[in-house]
Amino acid sequence: MAQENIVKMQCPSCKNTNYWTHKNKKTMTTKLALAKFCKACRKHVTHKEAKK
């Protein structure tokens, strides 16, 4: 995978970077948001794409 396709996912409540994932930047123009489990908050929250 190319390095420019990697994005980091950040928890909006605790601002912890928990996940790294890939994104097709040609087809997805909006920011990525996924429901993931945050280990620091100990609950499922919608993690949003953050700056590298």
Comparing CA positions, the residue from 24, 13, 3, 5 lying closest to residue 48 is 13
Tell me the pLDDT of the chain averaged across its residues: 90
What is the domain extent for residue 41?
Answer: 3-50
pLDDT of residue 37: 95
Low-confidence residues in the chain, pLDDT < 50? none
- Please give the Cα distance from 41 to 15 (Å, whole number): 10
Q: What is the pLDDT of residue 43?
A: 94
Q: Give the model's pLDDT for residue 3.
A: 77
Find the CATH number of the domain harbouring 16. Answer: 2.20.28.120
Amino acid 30 reads T
Q: Give the pLDDT of residue 1.
A: 58
3-class SS string, 8-44: EEECCCCCCEEEEEECCCCCCCCCCEEEEEECCCCEE
Please state the domain count of the chain.
1
Contacts of residue 28, defined as CB under 8 A and 6 or more positions apart, other chains included, come to none
| Res 46: pLDDT | 95
